[in-house]
Amino acid sequence: MTLAMKVYQAFDRAIIQEIPTDDGKALEHKLQMAAQAFADKAGWLPTHERMAVLRKTSVLLETNRDRFALMIAREGGKPLPDAIIEVTRAIDGILNAADELRNFGGKEIPMGLTAASANRWAFTTKEPIGVVAAISAFNHPLNLIVHQIAPAIAVGCPVIIKPASTTPISCIELVKLFREAGLDEQWCQTFLTDDNALAEQLATDPRIAFLSFIGSAKIGWYLKSKLPSGTRCALEHGGAAPVIIDRGVDVDRVAASVVKGGYYHAGQVCVSSQRLFVHEDILASFTEAFAAKVTALRVGDPVLKDTEVGPLILPREADRVEAWIKEATEQGATQIGGGRLSETTLRPSILLNPGAETKVSRLEVFGPLTCVYGYSDLDAAINIANSLPFAFQASVFASDIAVALKAARHLDASAVLVNDHTAFRTDWMPFTGRRQSGYGVGGIPWTMEEMADDKMIVFNHVS
């Protein structure tokens, strides 16, 4: 009997669609198909064909922009204006993978530097690493998929993609566009399941050469520990991104930026601005300006064009965030805003000075909440910002260049945004977590490098 998983609208939990799931037999068939495609080197797609497929898919996606944006809003709960931006980024990301192939190659290795290396000519070429297993997350149900499968297709890796069980429709529809663009099935397949054991079986199969995982740190690090010898991986998890706000800044401008960084997609972003360290000289004025903007955010159904904050992905996530807020307020934090609009939808909250041991100060909230802390000593603020076991993106707002440079140098982060919020990202820049926040480097050109091997060829040209 074929099982199905129900896909719900994030906002009102209405059923969108029931999708047949794959079982173990289907997984084995997909793995065999991908492994055979990679083993047949004579059948590898030439670079120009891969470029053509990517370019055509990008055009097809642009034609379907509004349809995909509505899908994202319904299944993922991202407000429609932001969903349109996600599709626009995905269109450009696919083109980015195609364009990167113009410069994706090897290099000459100097020879003749010693007598023993005389009369030799050496150079490297790029080869696909092998079959890629990609396990994705719900929060950007189209663009994350693009970041995982477009690089694989670009470099010539067969890829099997498992979308989040809460948001599979965008992935399914994107893969259909790749088929329409001329890509044969063995080069890009979906694996649809809500069975964690089957997902683990995909990730850890010895035929998989590279695992791309976006999601829970607990699951990602567990899967990495189970990978066969030789299997490479990239893990993208989250953090509790710190923001340092120095005195002397334009309080209104900074508040507007941090509202976007903290409440975009209801805070369900791995680099969402969560912990705001504000200089005591401007703490009162910043908090007033920030609170006014946060409480004015339009919260509701994400398919409406004026919605700014939508739901969390599941009712249990809204329950969790509410419980964390309650813990912090019971221990002395002051709450601004908040409240529950629906089973999955929370109104945005601010917590003032939650305790250092509360969950909101130690863990990734992944909800519409930011925490504001006052500071007087920059070194102390940086030390607290760096005190957690994960690190991803951080930011500093400062008009004093010395403060900006000091924070940029000393914040433990893979990227420090100066006078911008922590959730800023372009799809061609490197994107990587440090320590428990991740492993490997994301970003489309960087992922292409991770999914390729260098092969060196050495000619002995003794005449």
The radius of gyration computed from the CA coordinates of the chain, to the nearest angstrom, equals 24
Reduced 3-state DSSP string for 320-377: HHHHHHHHHHHCCCEEEECCECCCCCECCEEEECCCCCCHHHHCCCCCCEEEEEEECC
Catalytic residue among 171, 188, 270, 371: 270
CB 363 within 8 A of CB 327: no
Task: Count helices and strands (H / E) in the chain.
Answer: 15, 20
- Tell me the CA end-to-end span of the chain in Å, nearest whole number: 69
Please give the angle made by the CA atoms of 45, 49 and 52, to the nearest 5 degrees: 145
| Helix or strand holding residue 144 (H, E) | helix 143-155
What is the rounded distance in angstroms from the CA atom of residue 309 to the CA atom of residue 312?
9
CB 141 within 8 A of CB 174: no
Does 371 participate in catalysis according to the annotation? no
Q: Which two tokens stand for residue 318?
A: 């809204």
Catalytic residue among 236, 308, 317, 450: 236
Close Cβ partners of 46 (under 8 Å, ≥ 6 residues apart): none
Please give the angle made by the CA atoms of 151, 153 and 158, to the nearest 5 degrees: 115
Does 171 participate in catalysis according to the annotation? no
Beta strands 232-236 and 208-214 are parallel
Catalytic residues: 236, 270
